[in-house]
Chains A and B, each alone.
Chain A
């Protein structure tokens, strides 16, 4: 076993683990999982899932370099460039991941296998859609066996979706605290009474929570439970229908209709687009993070030039809007994610290593920060020097917009508070950022007071 190279998200499963070997991500299959692995590969299930783009493909590696512990196989799965987590997904992203899980379980049952867990962390977004990444999650199905992962499915998917739908769309953030899904009794307490009148939520969440409490210390009762295969299929069908019926909760956010309230004229909007296109060409950008992307109006400029983009925004409604857009338009090179830049995703889980923090993940060539700096500097009291330092830790190129105090959006931010930002002006902005970046180009956006900068990180 190669202790020091194990990927920290995969150590819980006795079937195998992920490790890094000379820059390659590999997965060891332990001898205990041999029968299940052979069944997965031989039953046609693997082909079916890969063919339908529901699971990442892998190839078997001959020889087991560096492995000292008994090994059955070493496989090299197709890698996902950017790992994201359920607490960073919008409602529909989590919903699509839930439906993908159920679809996989249904296909697995048809092939005589079953999912032994249904963690939301087993899915990632690839080319715009969710894909299953844990090849070792399948085990041979024995007639009459209940679905061991049913409870986990309700915690990881149904409970957060119901909470986002019926209580508040921001409640996906509970997943950040509860890494094994939202406890059903907690979900039950937070959901409004009317959810008890919906049969699916009454059963899968409210009564489920009660049943768990009742049988908390009575392990033996479950050994006698048998469920017919046809009823398991029916269970998957009712779960699919329960998930499909859930819709995102309505909430008027400050950002939801941002683009109808901006102070841009059509001409400054198109000038900003032109400048951005030029800067992107000049930098030869291949990967980009758009920070404060809103619903992706400018991320699309980069995406249309074939750049792989991740669009971060604090607002779950904006991320939801953009995800639905990329889904509808079949855009494959953009991943919209929820992120509060003033409190980005931390590293969490066992030993603080299971889930990566925002800054631990692969960084982009270029960062786009449009209409962002005034929110950080004025709404969040962040000194310009700190913002510059933070951004310089993330990228090589920076395309950033400076919004001066005279801009109506900034005036609005200052209306209700004392102006304690004497250093917030164009000159200081240039000075503070020059400590970390070299300013390559600087253009005033037509018919506005805003300035768009192209900067390169100092060596």
Chain B
């Protein structure tokens, strides 16, 4: 079971897990699109490489 090890300490909450799965999926898609869009812009030379975090 995936959840067994995390039941050891705090209760993650079923609602939190399900909501998290939805948010993470949406976030994953968003990041993918953002990354893809940046690649497109870079391909056409509209945008240069990402700035590094300070």
Contacts and interface: CB of A to CB of B under 8 A. Distances in A.
Interface stretch (A169-177, A227-235, A301-309, A310-318): A227-235
Interface residues of B, number: 27
A407 to B, nearest CB: 47
Given A151-B12, A223-B2, A235-B24, A146 B17 contact: yes
Contacts, number: 121
B8 interface: yes
Nearest to B12: A148
B25 interface: yes
Contacts of A207: 19
Given A223-B1, A225-B2, A232 B24 contact: yes
B31 A204 contact: no
A459 interface: no
Contact of B23 (A13, A15, A144, A238): A238
Interface stretch (A75-83, A213-221, A389-397): A213-221
Given A116-B6, A139-B5, A142-B2, A235 B23 contact: yes
Contacts of A215: 13-15, 18
A232 B25 CA distance: 9
B21 to A, nearest CB: 5
B10 A221 contact: no
Contacts of A219: 14
A416 interface: no
B9 interface: yes
Nearest to B4: A223
A222 B3 contact: yes
Interface of A: 13-15, 116-117, 139, 142, 144-152, 154, 203-204, 207-208, 210-216, 218-219, 221-223, 225-228, 230-235, 237-238
17 contacts: A117-B9, A146-B12, A147-B20, A149-B12, A151-B16, A203-B23, A210-B15, A211-B18, A212-B15, A212-B19, A214-B15, A216-B14, A225-B3, A226-B21, A228-B24, A231-B24, A238-B23
10 cross-chain pairs, A with B, having the tightest CB-CB distances, nearest first: A151-B16, A212-B15, A234-B27, A148-B6, A231-B28, A211-B15, A215-B14, A148-B12, A231-B24, A211-B19
